[in-house]
Amino acid sequence: MKIPLMRMREKLVVRVVSRFFIPFILLFGLYVQFHGDFGPGGGFQAGVIFTSGFVLYGLVFGLENLQRVVPWRVVESGASLGLLLYGCVGIASLFLNGNFLDYKVLDPHDAMHGLHLGILLIELGVGLTVSASMLAIFYAFAGRRTA
């Protein structure tokens, strides 16, 4: 006897609860991103948490709806922009007569401010890259069709 599978649009509780929790997941991802230089967390963890909100949206509301919210071009641009930001911070420190990723030279008047700014920018670049990469992996696996 074959049990029919219910489609996700028929599961009202899952859809309502997901719609309620997704903004909080995204907000928590941003909290981890911007609090990561003072406490536990940082770019990698924030990128994965942030993407988990989009993955939940894609699982509940469908891959096509997720691709309308976050098109492939945005995923590609996010990964590229994150890598570019990471590299530019390192190169900027070289141009300011420091070592690669030596954040203290980013602010010549206050080394601690430069350190804080450098860590914030590096973690933002890592977060963007990880988030876009995780979403690209989800798109690749969710878009597969079974034979």
Place of tokens 């492939």: 72
Q: Which domain holds residue 30?
A: 8-142
**Rounded to whole angstroms, how far apart are CA atoms 134 and 84?**
18
Task: Flag whether 46 is in a domain.
Answer: yes
Which residues are CB-contacts of 111 (< 8 A; sequence separation ≥ 6)? 104
* Overall number of domains in the chain: 1
Instruction: For residue 40, give the 3-state DSSP assignment.
Output: coil
**Which residues of the chain fall below pLDDT 70?**
1-9, 37, 40, 145-147
Closest CA to 123 of 46, 28, 10, 26: 46
pLDDT of residue 108: 86
Instruction: Give the ranges where 1-147 is alpha helix by DSSP (H).
Output: 12-35, 43-61, 63-69, 72-95, 111-142
pLDDT of residue 59: 92
Task: Flag whether 34 is in a domain.
Answer: yes
pLDDT of residue 84: 96
Task: Flag whether 147 is in a domain.
Answer: no
**Rounded to whole angstroms, how far apart are CA atoms 114 and 135?**
32
**Rounded to whole angstroms, how far apart are CA atoms 109 and 92?**
16
